[in-house]
Amino acid sequence: MIKFGLSKKRDAPRRHNGDFVRTPAVSGPLQQFRRNQTMSGVRRPDGEPVSDRARMHKLARSRQKIGAILGLVLLGIIILGGLVTQFTATVVITGSSQALSRPIEPDTYRQSINDYLGISPVERLRFALDESALTDYVAAIHPEVAAVELTSTDNIVESNFTITFRKPVAGWQINSRQYYVDTTGIVFENNYYARPTVQIIDQSGVSPEQGSTVASARLLSFVGRVVSLAGQGSYAVTEAILPTGTTRQLEIRLKDTQPLIKLSIDRGAGEQVEDMIRSLQFLQSRGINAQYIDVRVSGRAAYL
């Protein structure tokens, strides 16, 4: 009988071998999946989407961004170009809108316009220029200016301005200085037209030093209004006389009219001219030849 001896201890199963090391699974970007993520969402190591459709969407978005940037740049260039073409860098005085008796002095008015544009730099853009405010500013320095207008441009940086000057209807010399007044009653010294036919004849005997320029300006303004209103009523003033002993009254002579008209500068010119016209029409209708008509008192006209 054959006895079998105990067999050698079998080798332990490989899975029980303590020296066994589990090889980790490859953990690359291609094997990384997230829950609820489809296969089309898998990204390559370089970050580019695998899906052609996603790649096309990204490319379209990039094109839109580039197009928007280029559009903004183009719009900025157009706006900047438009502002440059509207910018007034140099002021040019082209002259007057009327025929003048002597040349103007452009440098004087150019400086005043530049000063105004320096105060309001936004108005260097032609479309933003307030011509009314510009006229008021220049006329405050130069009373002979009636209007300043932006007329045309010769090139991008130059702007041409035309000045309209006041036309005098009467004048008065004070302290060897000649003053003028236009139809609106504005008093000024610098006249670019022919000397007016109506000149104040000073018979008051009052020394010019005793009166101020303000009083003289008020009188000239009154004369200008009377001349203008009388002309509207078909009466032409030929003389304006300052009577003896006063600077508050005025006597005027009318063309082809005998009576001397007495006026007061303390009463409205329009009211007195209306009373004058009614009085002249009354005397003419009655065939009365008067030496003078006094309309200084409201509602009461006297004649002699």
SS3 category, 77: helix
Please tell me the predicted confidence (pLDDT) of residue 185: 78
Supply the CATH number for residue 275's domain: 3.40.50
Task: Kindly state the helix (H) or strand (E) to which residue 94 belongs, with its residue range.
Answer: strand 90-96
Residue range 197-236, pLDDT digits in tens = 888 887 776 655 444 455 567 888 888 899 999 999 999 9
Within this chain, do residues 145 and 250 fall inside the same structural domain, yes or no?
no
Residue 48 has pLDDT above 90, yes or no: no
pLDDT for 212? 44
**Is 278 found in the same domain as 195?**
yes
Q: 204 and 258 in one domain?
A: yes
Query: Domain of 203?
Result: 170-303
Together in a domain, 273 and 192? yes
Q: Does any domain span residue 132?
A: yes
CA 97 to chain centre: 20
Task: Pick the last residue of a domain from 165, 199, 218.
Answer: 165
> Does residue 28 sit in helix, strand or coil?
coil
Q: Which of 139, 165, 191 is the last residue of a domain?
A: 165
Compute the mean pLDDT over every residue in the chain, rounded to the nearest whole number: 79
Among residues 110, 142, 165, the one where a domain terminates is 165
Check which CATH number belongs to the domain holding 153 and give it.
3.10.20
Task: For residue range 261-287, list pLDDT tens digits in order.
Answer: 999 999 999 999 999 999 999 998 988
Domain assignment present for residue 233? The answer is yes
Structure tokens at 226: 């009377």
pLDDT top residue among 295 and 7: 295
Q: What is the pLDDT of residues 65-115, one digit of tens each?
A: 888 888 888 888 877 766 666 777 788 888 777 788 888 889 999 999 999
Separation between Cα atoms, residue 181 and residue 155, nearest integer Å: 38
Do 248 and 285 belong together in one domain? yes
Q: What pLDDT is stored for residue 22 in this prediction? A: 58
Q: Any bridge partners for residue 208, and if so which?
A: none
Same domain, 222 and 132: no
Residues 275 and 153 in one domain: no
Residues 6+ positions from 218 with CB-CB distance below 8 Å? 265
* Residue 1: inside a domain: no
pLDDT value at position 13? 56
pLDDT in tens, 225-245: 999 999 999 999 988 888 887
Clarify whether residues 121 and 209 are in a common domain: no
Amino acid (1-letter code) at residue 113: I
Is the per-residue pLDDT at 169 higher than 90? Answer: no
Q: Into how many domains does the chain fold?
A: 2
How far apart CA 16 and CA 60 sit, in angstroms, is 59
**Residues listed for the chain:** 304
Does residue 253 lie within any of the structural domains?
Answer: yes
Does the residue 195 lie in any domain?
Answer: yes
Residue 165 CA to residue 178 CA, distance in Å, equals: 17
- Do residues 277 and 178 share a domain? yes
Structure tokens at 182: 């236009």
Task: Summarize pLDDT for 125-149 with one digit per residue, the tens.
Answer: 888 889 999 999 999 999 999 999 9
